[in-house]
Amino acid sequence: MTRWADSGAMALTGLPDHPMGPPEGLVEGIDRLARSFPGLDALALLGERAALMGLWRRGATSCGGSCRLLTSGDGFMAVSLPRAEDMEAVPAWLELDDVPDSVPAMWSTVASHLQHGDPDLLLARALLLGLPAALVGESAGHAGPVRSLLGQAPPRPDLTGLIVVDLSALWAGPLCGDLLARVGATVVKVESTQRPDGARRGPAEFFDLLNGRKRSVALDFRDRDGLRILQSLLRRADVVIEASRPRALAQLGLDGPDLVRAGGPQVWVSITGHGRAGRAANRVAFGDDAAAAGGLVVWRNGVPLFCADAIADPLTGLRAADACLRALAEGGRWLLDVSMSAVSSAFSGPSLPVPRELTVAHPHARPVESPAPPLGSDTARVLAEFEIDP
């Protein structure tokens, strides 16, 4: 419990006037994953974004403020509204005649409808509209991540010369790439010139922490040459990290498993909210609602409260990087289906009590070792090194 308090994660967990302990087994589970990354204070990863953004615990409202845990029928639902399009979809979701005139009024209306409506129907309508929502604990007990063997390849005992192409954005995927760079891989961050990583608009220090060890390539995914270059990069890579719904890559003509089977990357890391298979593959998820789906919350008097800040993101990044290293060491060609809700489920458990005399530290972040490169600043150099025609 002392390590939980010292890490800063406890400062982000529980009610504003009542910090709470972690779910049973969470700290030990994170420690096991950290063995793959010597010298890493993995527990402190949970609080880095909060430290740089000045976030704090808010009970049933997420630290970032965009997700809430609300009563729904006999249970609870997590609803995230971080984007303008999410707020705009609420009237259609709840079939409102009158649109609330403020954000607080919108949340009040959502809470009322969830409390008195059918949870399953409301969730189904939310998912149909692309809203990030989940019933608390709906994925509890699901195994993850799933490893699928797609062919044979020799084991790779170390990361010397390993090429990682990182197509992901925001937090979980970029953290996975950063951890692989930490242990020696060459990581190339590839972004669309039209839609670069949204984290570039957030705190610069946080973006630097996740991307400072990488090279930056920017391509026009709408352009035939841009897609040709992207496909060449993916075939050249040993590992690919992506955090898109499968249909998004399909629209670009990319199929991860096919590229792996054809002798391209040895490991394809696919990070999703709720998995790649079936209807869940189309679900939108963020770190707070995905954690709630996996049951990774803390409980007080029968009511769920948020555990740390968007905890599914750093946990999934850590778990994906560990799974990737294990796949490389084992040999073979792999598709790693790393679902944020499934990862969260693996770390959920009953909330541990807190000794009264415990001192709770503020969250803190690692020092930035180097700034992230500007968008596309390494494109020409990377293409030349990989012998790809621009």
pLDDT in tens, 327-371: 999 999 999 999 999 999 999 999 999 987 889 999 999 999 999
**So what's the pLDDT on residue 66?**
97
Contact, 334 vs 267, CB < 8 A? yes
- In the chain, the largest separation of any two C-alpha atoms, in whole Å, equals 64
Structural domains counted in the chain:
1
Please name which of 367, 351, 380 lies closest in space to residue 21, comparing C-alpha atoms: 351
Query: Is 134 within 8 Å of 292 (Cβ atoms)?
Result: yes
How distant is the alpha carbon of residue 53 from its chain centre? 18
Q: What pLDDT score was predicted for residue 379? A: 98
Contact 12/48 with Cβ under 8 angstroms? no
Parent domain of 322: 13-59+136-390
Positions in the chain short of pLDDT 50: none
Pairing of strands 298-300, 303-305: antiparallel
Residue 5 lies in a domain: no
Q: What pLDDT is recorded for position 144?
A: 63
Alpha carbons 276 and 141: distance in angstroms, whole number:
17
Is 311 contained in some domain?
yes
Domain CATH for 246: 3.40.50.10540
Q: Is 295 helix (H, G, I), strand (E, B) or coil?
A: coil
Locate 247 and state its tokens.
């249909």
CA distance 35 to 353: 27
pLDDT at 263: 92
Pick from 57, 110, 60: nearest CA to 81: 110
Residue 134: strand pairing partners:
78
Residue 201 in domain: yes
CA dist 298 to 53, 295, 340, Å?
23, 9, 17
297 domain-assigned: yes
Name which of 264, 303, 240 is nearest 18 in CA terms: 303
Instruction: For residue 99, count other CB atoms closer than 10 A to its CB.
Output: 12
> Nearest Cα to 93, choosing from 44, 138, 130, 140?
130
Residue 92, domain member (yes or no)? no
In a domain, residue 198? The reply is: yes
Q: Is position 19 within any domain?
A: yes
Question: Read out DSSP for 173-209?
Answer: HHHHHHHHHHTT-EEEEEEESSS--GGGGS-HHHHHH
Amino acid at 364: H
Task: Find the angle CA(16)-CA(18)-CA(22) to the nearest 5 degrees.
Answer: 105
48 in a domain, yes or no? yes
What tokens does 21 get?
């302990």
Question: Residue holding tokens 């220090």?
Answer: 205
What is the rounded CA–CA span in Å between residue 256 and residue 268? 7
Using DSSP's 3-state secondary structure scheme, residue 27 falls into helix
Tokens found for residue 343? 């990862």
- pLDDT at position 118 is 96
User: What per-residue confidence (pLDDT) applies to 143?
Assistant: 65
User: What pLDDT does residue 353 have?
Assistant: 92
For the whole model, what pTM was predicted? Answer: 0.96
